[in-house]
Structure 1
Amino acid sequence: MILVTGATGHLGRAVLQTLASKTAPDNLAALVRDPDKAADLQAQGISIRVGDYRDLASLQRAMQGITKVLLISGGGDDDALQQHYNVVDAARQAGVQCLAYTSRALKDPDSLTNQLMVRHFQTEDYIKASGLAYVLFRNILYMEALPQFTGPHVLTTGIGLPAGEGKVAYALRSEMGEAIAHTLLDSSCNTKTYYLTGSEAYSFHDVAAALTTLSGKPVAYTPLETAEFEQRLHARGLPAIVIQRIVGFMTDIKNGQEEIVRSDLEQLLGRKPSTLIEGVKTIFNL
Structure 2
Amino acid sequence: MILITGASGNYGKATIDFLLKKGFTAQSISALVRDEEKVEDLKAKGINVRIGDYDNYEGLVEAFKGVEKLLLVSSSDIEKREKQQENVVNAAKVAGVKHILYTSFERKNDTETSPIYSIAKSHIKTEELIKESGLTYTIFRNNLYLDLLPMFFGEDVLTTGIFLPAGNSKSAYVLRNDMCEATANVLTSKGHDNKVYSLSNTESVSLQEIAHELSEIVGKDINYVSPPQDIYVETLTKAGVPAQYIGMFAGIAEAIKQEEFSAETTDLEDLLGRKPTTGKAFLKEVYASK
TM-score (structure 1 length as normaliser): 0.97
Equivalent residues of 1:98, 1:189 under 8 A apart: no
Equivalent residues of 2:172, 2:200 under 8 A apart: yes
Moved more, 109-118 or 63-72: 109-118
Aligned equivalents of 2:51 and 2:107: distance in 1?
32
1:102 pairs with 2:109? no
Could you say what secondary structure the match of 1:16 adopts? helix
Could you say what secondary structure the match of 2:151 adopts? helix
Equivalent residues of 2:182, 2:268 under 8 A apart: yes
Tell me which residue corresponds to 2:56.
55
Tell me which residue corresponds to 2:6.
6
Equivalent residues of 2:26, 2:45 under 8 A apart: yes
Aligned equivalents of 1:244 and 1:97: distance in 2?
39
Could you say what secondary structure the match of 1:109 adopts? coil
Equivalent residues of 1:109, 1:121 under 8 A apart: yes
Tell me which residue corresponds to 1:113.
115
Q: Which runs of 4+ in 1 moved over 4 A?
A: none
Residue 81 of structure 2 aligns to which amino acid in structure 1?
A
Equivalent residues of 2:72, 2:100 under 8 A apart: yes
Equivalent residues of 1:144, 1:283 under 8 A apart: no
1:140 pairs with 2:143? yes
What is the number of equivalent residue pairs in this alignment? 286
Residue 15 of structure 2 aligns to which amino acid in structure 1?
V
Aligned equivalents of 1:77 and 1:100: distance in 2?
19
Aligned equivalents of 1:149 and 1:166: distance in 2?
16
Tell me which residue corresponds to 1:186.
189
Structure 1, unmatched stretches of 5+, are none
The root-mean-square deviation of aligned C-alpha atoms, in Å, is 1.2
Shift of residue 8, structure 1, vs aligned partner: 1.2
Equivalent residues of 2:116, 2:251 under 8 A apart: yes
Could you say what secondary structure the match of 1:65 adopts? coil
Tell me which residue corresponds to 2:209.
206
Shift of residue 167, structure 1, vs aligned partner: 1.4
Tell me which residue corresponds to 1:77.
78
Shift of residue 236, structure 1, vs aligned partner: 2.3
- CA distances 1:86-138 after superposition (whole Å, capped 9, x unpaired): 10011001000000000111122224211212211111001111111100000
1:277 counterpart (275, 280, 283): 280
Residue 56 of structure 2 aligns to which amino acid in structure 1?
D
Shift of residue 146, structure 1, vs aligned partner: 0.3
Tell me which residue corresponds to 1:230.
233
Q: Percent identity?
A: 40
- CA distances 1:225-262 after superposition (whole Å, capped 9, x unpaired): 10000001211223333322211101110000011131
Aligned equivalents of 1:15 and 1:285: distance in 2?
27
Shift of residue 187, structure 1, vs aligned partner: 4.1
CA change 1:144–1:131 in 2 (3 A) is same
Could you say what secondary structure the match of 2:84 adopts? helix
TM-score (structure 2 length as normaliser): 0.96
